[in-house]
Amino acid sequence: MLFNSLQYLVFFPIVVIAYFALSPKWRTYLLLAASYYFYMSWKPEYIVLILGSTIVDYFIAIKIHGTDVKKRRKQWLALSLLVNLGVLFLFKYFNFFAESTHEVFAQMNIFYDSPAFEFLLPVGISFYTFQTISYSVDVYRGKLEPERNFPRFALFVSFFPQLVAGPIERATHLLPQFKQKFNFEYERVVSGLRLMLWGFFKKVVIADNIGLLVDQVYNNPGEQNGLTFLIATYFFAFQIYCDFSGYSDIAIGSARIMGFDLMENFKQPYLSTSIREFWSRWHISLSTWFRDYVYIPLGGNRTVKWRWYYNLMITFLISGFWHGANWTFIIWGAIHGILLIAGIQVAKFVKTPKKRLGIWISRLIVFHLVVLAWVFFRADTVEIAVDILKAIALIYRDVLDYLSGSSVFLGFGEIELVTVAYFGMLIALLYSIDWLLTQEKAQKYYLNSPKLRMLTYFILFYWIVLGGYFGKTTFIYFQF
């Protein structure tokens, strides 16, 4: 079930009405049933996986908390990691390793039939796996006691607003909320609906429309030139941002209507002045997860310099691999690790800009570094990504060919240039709103102006209805 589907627009109001109509003691069961239905709407049999993960971590956490023997606690934690990561490996990474091993042996003239695991990747498996792992680790570290109410813990694992693409919640934050009684509050509901409306706009008006052009270019790389690749890559940067942040907005807004507070997942990342700042603003729930459960356990920055850089690179390589079983994602993670380390070195010699011009120059530099890295994220293979970057680097040739009349300058298939210009206008609008969201005075003025708010709601709603793309699409991060 997609957020941007008629099915969800029927499902969600029914759940909300039933939630506030029921006695608080029954609400957990309602949300659990709704969450399982939500997940099973994709592939019913995969509910076994999420149930298995829930049962394993529920009992293992109790076992960890029930013994003071350090060795025994480590063994229980290792079992939790083995089960969760084992299932994730089987469904997401087995074929990648099998094919990579086959290619290595083929280079040595050793040939054999490569085994293949022919199953559809369970939607959201990377997200709920990381969520349950963080729970087991936090219990092991003594940050919280295990949840002994099984339905409540099962709801923590499967809570439908954030089940398939985050935010990746911590048990210390979300579990206590399931014990609270939330009444219907008008202001909170309006706030949640407002966030959902903005999320729908970003998804169906910006991301899905722009995605048509991006797919046209990246799915037919042999028919493109440097300029079309460059424009499509710029557009992909905003497609993935609006797609994922739009999902997060709808998820957070849906939960907020019922009284639950999910963590902020995006904070105007393309206004960052450094790669470090970018990762404090982009997919915040994942970046903080890797910080707390990979980077810090490796030693963080409290070690010698070479080890610190090693810790950063390992963290980003794993982060890249988390996104997908493809060398393109690993290289994308490596690029960000290298950029972050380079940024640390540059910061020793270049002061942080304080004047407006310097800040915007830094933002433009960081934005373009991120955009170039997105090429590996979007391309199907490393070879195609390299060819795209070469074409972009030689873009001046396309300009000269166009001026001489020997080539077509832009080739977006059936997408007209006026449509491309419209997409550019959408991006400019998004960028402007993101900037306004950083201005306190603008926010106060907006919140204190009912007429302006109603006008905004009206425009966004009708823009979604009239300008939204409602073809067959999904959220990009569902594949991870």
* Catalytic residue numbers, as ranges: 323
CB atoms closer than 10 angstroms to residue 69: 8
Q: What phi, psi does 264 have (nearest 5°)? A: -65, 135
* Residue 375 CA, distance from chain mean position: 17
Q: Which residues are CB-contacts of 386 (< 8 A; sequence separation ≥ 6)? A: none
C-alpha 105/C-alpha 320 separation (Å) is 25
* Residue 80 CA, distance from chain mean position: 24
Q: Among candidates 375, 376, 349, 346, which has minimal Cα distance to 275?
A: 346
C-alpha 58/C-alpha 440 separation (Å) is 43
C-alpha 175/C-alpha 195 separation (Å) is 23
Asked if 92 contacts 125 with a C-beta cutoff of 8 angstroms, the reply is: yes
CB atoms closer than 10 angstroms to residue 131: 28
Asked if 192 contacts 12 with a C-beta cutoff of 8 angstroms, the reply is: no
* Residue 217, amino acid: V
